[in-house]
A and B are shown apart, each in its own frame.
Chain A
């Protein structure tokens, strides 16, 4: 089945230790998104790629970086995780950015920072 896959589902890292989260999709969608969601809060968009065009949200900290080596894969790198970065990280895809292009989400990676 076509889907959005995130690995790992749960990630534990230490304060300041770099961590990489991965997302892959079999939907052949042009757009991939990374969101951060903390408990009982709305998802917060960190960045999105339209094909290889990278779009960084103005308030995304420099500590967060992203890579999209090809259509299917996208990575979220957290260079020096702090306690405040503990959250659920959601990857989503859409075929485009038009109004009818629904975003489809992966299962998320829950990050714990010790």
Chain B
């Protein structure tokens, strides 16, 4: 079966750094996406990785290791508005997007 695992919830402090991990087992791999979803709203695209390594985009970075079936999303200089769920999703061999259940990130002052 196909499976995406990520922690259910994490708590971090404003101004700090947090790393949200994602591991996956899918039938094939055509890239990994991270989406941000605020409560009651639709997911918004954050990043896409298809090659191993780190992609940096402002305060957010995403890392991928295909051999380990592992990715992480790194958020720096946390702001209160970063409180949201972060969804990891993998595009499988059929180009179907397989979603994780999301990690709820709580930012405390």
Contact = CB atoms under 8 A, between A and B. Distances in A.
Interface in B84-106: 87, 91, 95-97, 99-102, 104
Nearest to A55: B96
Interface residues of B, number: 23
A102 B4 CA distance: 18
A107 B42 contact: yes
A-side interface size class? 20 to 34
Contacts of B44: 105
B7 interface: no
Contacts of B40: 88, 108, 110
Contacts, number: 48
Contacts of A100: 31, 48, 50
A105 B43 contact: yes
A42 B50 CA distance: 21
Most buried by B among A90, A99, A110: A99
Contacts of B31: 99-100
Contact of B96 (A40, A41, A45, A107): A45
Nearest to B41: A107
Given A43-B99, A44-B99, A108-B40, 6 more contacts: A42-B4, A42-B87, A42-B100, A42-B101, A43-B87, A45-B96
